[in-house]
Structure 1
Amino acid sequence: MIEKRWIHYPEFNPEQQQVVSELTESLKVSPSLATLLVQRGILDFDQSKQFFRPDLTLLHDPFLMKDMDLAVERLARAIASGEKILVYGDYDVDGTTSVALFYGFLKKTYPNLDYYIPDRYEEGYGVSWQSIDWAYENGFTLIVTLDCGVKSVDKVTAALERGIDFIICDHHRPGDELPPAVAVLDPKRDDCPYPYKELTGCGVGFKLLQAFCINQNIDTQTLFDNLDLLVVSIAADIVPITGENRILAYYGLQRINAAPRTGIKALIQIAGITGSLDITNVVFGLSPRINAAGRIKHAKEAVRLLLSEFEDEAFEFAQEINKHNSERRTFDTSITEQALFMIENDDWFIDAKSTVLYKEDWHKGVIGIVASRCIEKYHRPTIILTQSHGKAAGSARSVPGFDVYEAIEECADLLEQYGGHTFAAGLTLPLDNIEAFKTRFNDIVSSRILPDQLVPMINIDMLLELDVITPKFYNILRQMGPFGPGNMTPVFESRNVTLSGRPTTMKEKHIKFDVKQNNSAVFTAVGFGLGHFYPDLASGRPFSICYSLEENNFRDKKTLQLSLKDIKLH
């Protein structure tokens, strides 16, 4: 087991300490809570008000985005003249929620449109040649892409020659050349002045519809009713929950908890989620099931579920998708075991700073998940490859602080296709290039990665005495959500704590015990995957814990519980 590094937030300077004191006074909160706010860049009363009470009126003007005026003009013209519009989305959660939102919104008032999701295995990521043929044969003259398209220069060029225009809504890094679309909406364009750069693909599509509503004098509340879909994309795509994303996620969670659409309601039921949904519930409860449709069968099933308006039909769709998810789990477990066995039995990996594995019969739909599982154990940039249409197709995942996309980009001459983000990417290469790629990629990683990046770390917000934890403290803490990248759930460290009673293990992997610190109240602590600490804890010595706070609801009795991240023995 790799010992984790505990990284503490740097101590505040005198000016920051003064801001903490001012916030403590103006907000009437504890210094600990004020410190958490300052750590998140909240420095005065007005910023605190915006943080605790996000406001939809503070969303940016969508027309600040480069090409937005061109996109709205073309969409409005297509609708006015009755053109056939094709809504095109990627097969992951961001893509399918994008299509459900964009198509579902327009379909209420405009019938002459359809949607298209490429087959993960037959067509691959992005705009496919098959989709252009299909659009041409069926008389579509405008395609709106969502969560893809910014690198599809050759396909958009070919479509244009056949009389098909494109509006591209994407959030991935563009290449050196932009496609010849009517409009390329992408906040990550170098020449795009849009103030917020971290929207999801669904978020960019939402901004196009927001601009369209403004242009056409349509009440934007009818668009905000779709924020339940948008928050699912934000959670699933692991984008920062800051700025505009925070506002959208805040109201999206309100919507999903108060009045979820029929399809999402069915998905919540089938996932067995009780109580209020937060970002974590969405990431681990809803997202894998939506994703499973495209991984195991076809992502169109996910869109059908999200658009469904009848409860019986939606529940049937949700059950089918849940079966796909169970099948996905079986593949995931089996392939992960094979991958770990390969690493453990190949001497090449002893000194390697990366992992690149290939097996021709691995299921393409789960290799990204397997890459993440390998990182959980070995904590180094990982690429898992399988065979697809006579090529090696792969998914890459990274560790905090290391840009795996840039490392892959330096191997471009060995690749046929690649794309993605800092921490996750996809690639395709000839089978003959696998060994050369494995060596080159490892050389690049070895030359750049810092020793600390190869050790898993836990970021700790602050030291906390257990007697500070009260229901009032937790109630204010909870209002700092929604939590996620850029506003992570606060993690605390408490030192010199002792057991109150004996610890117990669950399934030999997990641990549960009661803990106190001096004369504090006794808290129950639960550590998933921390069962290996049992023998040492049973000795009765004092120890340190790092944890986040959560509310446990058992038989309608709510108690505060410590969700352990790690334990250090003195």
Structure 2
Amino acid sequence: MRWTLKPIPDIEKVKHLQGALQVDQNIATLLVQRGIENFEQARAFFRPSLADLHDPFLMQDMDIAVNRIEQAIQLNQRILVYGDYDVDGTTSVALMSSYLRNYTENVICYIPDRYKEGYGISYQGIDFAHDNEFDLIIALDCGIKAVDKVDYAQKKGLDFIICDHHRPGPEIPKAVAVLNPKRPDCNYPYKELCGCGVGFKLIQALEKNQGRGIEFLTPYLDLVATAIGADIVPITGENRILAFYGLQVINSLPRVGFQAIIKEINKKKLSITDVVFIIAPRINAAGRMEHALRAVDLMLTTDPKEAQEMAHAIDRFNQDRRETDKNITQEALSQIKSLKEEKRTTTVVYQKDWHKGVIGIVASRLTETYYRPTLVFTKSGEKLAASARSVKGFDLYAALEACQELIEQFGGHKYAAGLTLTEENYSLFKQKFEQVVQQQINPKLLEPEINIDLKLDFKSITPKFYRILSQFAPFGPGNPAPIFMSDNLKENGFSKQVGADKNHLKCSLKQSGSKHIFSGIGFNLGKHLQDLLRAKSCSAVYSLEENEWNGQTTLQLKLRDFDFKN
């Protein structure tokens, strides 16, 4: 991997903050690197406050959306809460429907079928709303490009409120209200909300309009935190506040459905990473393997017995999903090798019978293997559907825009997107996408990079240092867990390969000239055992974590990479 050590920030700023906070220089340096330069900024960072959330009415169309929902409640109109089938969409539907049911019984949830209807607002969903005499559709985590479908709904006498966070197209749908901080005409101060975050701002506005404070909404924040983690949005600004308090809810009084999911997890305190790898995959698995409404039902139930039964079913879906994505990944890797495409700038693969529900996961796995922009296609009805993933620093969405004459429909973010096209355009698209990426990408971006915050001596790694460091959480994009490097390290005995396939490395490292010794765990670094044993010394890149074993808690290095000196 390519190691990039971040520049040491202005030493005067570091010393000023060090004095103001009474912390050591390493902590002050890490904070200044994150843009925290004074006591007030540090207070906001270490003690996030719900009072610091922005006024929801700063969002374009918020007042219109609030008035229309209040009108629907007053007139006893039927409301369809419509959301995408991923974690962000299903948590959004659970949040909005459970909130509205405090004020009206006329609320029904609708999630499109991944296979029959596809992503986003569908004509089938609009027909369902019309046939069942709904008056208002609130669409969450989708809809910003549904210009024709909103027009179709309008002709059927249906009103739409759209709560989305994806990039708008050239035209905004003519809905009653379109809430999206990424709208060009929206002056909302924070642009990085997820779909569930936009939904939360709407219920915050509804509460504020009734003269109630934000404290009444904290029980919904476990849903928001889960969506923030799963949708890989920056954990900065409002997202950091919402994730911080959402994790508190998850760890103290989570909804019954979440309790059922985490019941068997032997962990005292869940982090945002645990939410991403424990809760989110199970929620996602329902939509991938059966129907996402199963996940919504789990998040809405208040019956512990029912929740346990639902959680068991969803866990089985997750196990099936893991087996399916593992098999498809192997088939995709074989396809790349058989076509002799290892040297391309992009990965584009297709097989008509691949499970549509897991191609996004497969795209992520292929990106990890070849580290280049990746699309995985399967057959979906008469069209081909793909999930796309990018590498750090490359705008995949912009590359797809450059190929849009060959695409039927697409949407997403800089690093992840979905699209459909006709089968006859597949080869042309594959060729054009490769050309576009070759022209647009900096070759350096095709080499995995580790950004290192600080060079650290082992003597600096103390329990107090780690306690302060842990308060930097929740970690994620925009606020990653600090990464360190240390030089002049030597293997200190007890190193071995671990794991069922001996893929991982468990080791003990000592720094030259120091009495400090730390154990380390390196996932997928087992291949480096002999290099470590033979090396005269090495440098290592790592983050810090606590390891609990036999009732004892110690600090250990979570190893990322080595540089060996022989």
Q: One fold, TM greater than 0.5?
A: yes
Q: Which runs of 4+ in 1 moved over 4 A?
A: none
2:436 is aligned, of 444, 447, 453, to 444
Alignment of 1:79-90 (within 5 A): 79-90=73-84
1:337 to 2:320 alignment:
no
Q: Cα deviations across residues 525-567 of structure 1 (Å, max 9, x unaligned)?
A: 0000001111111115210000000001112211001000111
Partner residue, 1:372: 364
Q: Which amino acid aligns with 1:559?
A: T
2:271 is aligned, of 278, 282, 307, to 278
Q: CA RMSD in A?
A: 0.9
Q: Cα deviations across residues 308-344 of structure 1 (Å, max 9, x unaligned)?
A: 1011110110000000000000111000001111112
1:250 is aligned, of 244, 255, 276, to 244
Q: Which amino acid aligns with 1:556?
A: G
2:531 is aligned, of 505, 517, 536, to 536
Aligned to 1:534, the other structure's residue is in SS state: helix
User: How far apart are the structure 1 equivalents of 2:40 and 2:95?
Assistant: 33
Q: Which amino acid aligns with 1:335?
A: I
Q: Cα deviations across residues 111-146 of structure 1 (Å, max 9, x unaligned)?
A: 111110000000001110111111001110100000
User: How far apart are the structure 2 equivalents of 1:471 and 1:483?
Assistant: 19
User: How far apart are the structure 2 equivalents of 1:222 and 1:90?
Assistant: 26
Partner residue, 1:109: 103
The alpha carbon displacement at 1:222 in A equals 2.2
Aligned to 1:195, the other structure's residue is in SS state: coil
Alignment of 1:227-266 (within 5 A): 227-266=221-260
Aligned to 1:79, the other structure's residue is in SS state: helix
Aligned to 1:361, the other structure's residue is in SS state: coil
1:466 to 2:444 alignment:
no
User: How far apart are the structure 2 equivalents of 1:534 and 1:363?
Assistant: 37
Change (3 A) 1:70 1:249: same
2:504 is aligned, of 496, 504, 510, to 510
Aligned 8 A contact 1:416 1:430 in 2: yes
Q: Cα deviations across residues 85-135 of structure 1 (Å, max 9, x unaligned)?
A: 111110000000001111011112311111100000000011101111110
1:20 is aligned, of 5, 14, 25, to 14
User: How far apart are the structure 2 equivalents of 1:351 and 1:40?
Assistant: 37
Aligned to 2:81, the other structure's residue is in SS state: strand
The alpha carbon displacement at 1:458 in A equals 0.6
Q: Tell me, which stretches of 5 or more residues in structure 2 are unaligned?
A: none
Aligned 8 A contact 1:279 1:483 in 2: yes
1:323 to 2:309 alignment:
no
User: How far apart are the structure 2 equivalents of 1:260 and 1:350?
Assistant: 46
Partner residue, 1:406: 398
User: How far apart are the structure 1 equivalents of 2:37 and 2:365?
Assistant: 38
Aligned to 1:326, the other structure's residue is in SS state: helix
Aligned to 2:261, the other structure's residue is in SS state: helix
The alpha carbon displacement at 1:351 in A equals 3.4
Alignment of 1:129-148 (within 5 A): 129-148=123-142
Partner residue, 2:446: 454
The alpha carbon displacement at 1:274 in A equals 1.4
Q: Which amino acid aligns with 1:22?
A: H
The alpha carbon displacement at 1:502 in A equals 3.7
Q: Which amino acid aligns with 1:119?
A: D
1:186 to 2:180 alignment:
yes
1:434 to 2:426 alignment:
yes
Partner residue, 2:288: 295
Aligned 8 A contact 1:273 1:285 in 2: no
Change (3 A) 1:440 1:376: same
Q: Which amino acid aligns with 2:253?
A: A
Alignment of 1:36-51 (within 5 A): 36-51=30-45
The alpha carbon displacement at 1:220 in A equals 3.1
Aligned 8 A contact 2:256 2:307 in 1: yes
Aligned to 2:263, the other structure's residue is in SS state: helix
User: How far apart are the structure 2 equivalents of 1:111 and 1:72?
Assistant: 18
Alignment of 1:488-503 (within 5 A): 488-503=480-495
Scaled by the length of structure 2, the TM-score of the pair is: 0.98
Partner residue, 2:64: 70
Partner residue, 2:89: 95
Aligned to 2:291, the other structure's residue is in SS state: coil
Q: Which amino acid aligns with 2:301?
A: S
Q: Which amino acid aligns with 2:290?
A: K
Aligned to 1:166, the other structure's residue is in SS state: strand
User: How far apart are the structure 2 equivalents of 1:503 and 1:559?
Assistant: 17
Residues 535-544 or 61-70, more deviating: 535-544
Aligned to 1:143, the other structure's residue is in SS state: strand
Partner residue, 1:61: 55
User: How far apart are the structure 1 equivalents of 2:137 and 2:212?
Assistant: 22
User: How far apart are the structure 2 equivalents of 1:350 and 1:108?
Assistant: 55
User: How far apart are the structure 2 equivalents of 1:448 and 1:541?
Assistant: 42
Partner residue, 1:31: 25
User: How far apart are the structure 2 equivalents of 1:241 and 1:107?
Assistant: 30
Q: Cα deviations across residues 229-265 of structure 1 (Å, max 9, x unaligned)?
A: 1000000000000000010011001111011110011
Partner residue, 1:10: 7
Q: Tell me, which stretches of 5 or more residues in structure 1 are unaligned?
A: none
1:417 to 2:409 alignment:
yes
Q: Cα deviations across residues 462-515 of structure 1 (Å, max 9, x unaligned)?
A: 100011000000000000111100000000000011111141001321101111
Aligned to 1:458, the other structure's residue is in SS state: strand
Q: Which amino acid aligns with 2:546?
A: E
User: How far apart are the structure 2 equivalents of 1:445 and 1:485?
Assistant: 24
Q: Cα deviations across residues 393-445 of structure 1 (Å, max 9, x unaligned)?
A: 00000000111111111111111111000000000000111100000000000
Partner residue, 2:382: 390
1:119 to 2:116 alignment:
no
The alpha carbon displacement at 1:273 in A equals 4.8
The alpha carbon displacement at 1:184 in A equals 0.3
User: How far apart are the structure 1 equivalents of 2:351 and 2:43?
Assistant: 53
The alpha carbon displacement at 1:11 in A equals 3.1
User: How far apart are the structure 2 equivalents of 1:454 and 1:165?
Assistant: 46
1:313 to 2:309 alignment:
no
Q: Which amino acid aligns with 1:260?
A: P
User: How far apart are the structure 2 equivalents of 1:93 and 1:454?
Assistant: 29
Aligned to 1:156, the other structure's residue is in SS state: helix
Aligned to 2:450, the other structure's residue is in SS state: strand
The alpha carbon displacement at 1:218 in A equals 3.5
User: How far apart are the structure 2 equivalents of 1:263 and 1:108?
Assistant: 19
User: How far apart are the structure 1 equivalents of 2:525 and 2:150?
Assistant: 51
Aligned to 1:309, the other structure's residue is in SS state: coil
Aligned to 2:375, the other structure's residue is in SS state: strand
The alpha carbon displacement at 1:377 in A equals 1.0
Partner residue, 1:381: 373
The alpha carbon displacement at 1:59 in A equals 0.3
